Amino acid sequence: MNAVIKVGGKQYHVTEGTEIYVEKINCEAGDTVTFNQVLMLDSKVGNPYLTNVTVTGEVIKQGKSKKIRVFKYKSKDRSNRVTHGHRQPYTKVKITKING
């Protein structure tokens, strides 16, 4: 089964067994997470969400991504590398079951 879910303002195309990186969710590694905002399941399209359809997954780990390196150019200036300190937190989830 294929599904499109909405998590944290973004949409993800998932099947059973796929691993996705989503924005940080308040849970611990090994917990079970249920996603209720299912936009599409196989060929069924919701308006905006499908009812009685859930996608469950298991949290594998949480962490932060690498720092973002941004290059800025100023003419006739030698300093053009700036490392910005924002590190986006994420949660890695493995989809275990699609009910629908």
| Number of domain units in the chain | 1
Query: 77: domain range?
Result: 2-99
Residue 82 has pLDDT above 80, yes or no: no
The pLDDT value recorded for residue 52 is 94
SS3 content of the chain, % helix, strand, coil (to 5): 0, 55, 45
Q: How far is CA 69 from the centre of its chain?
A: 22
Residue 81 has pLDDT above 70, yes or no: no
Residue 80 has pLDDT above 70, yes or no: no
pTM, to two decimals:
0.80
Identify the CA nearest to 23 among candidates 9, 4, 40, 2: 9
The pLDDT value recorded for residue 18 is 96
Query: Tens digits of per-residue pLDDT, 20-75?
Result: 999 999 999 999 999 999 999 999 999 999 999 999 999 999 999 888 777 767 77
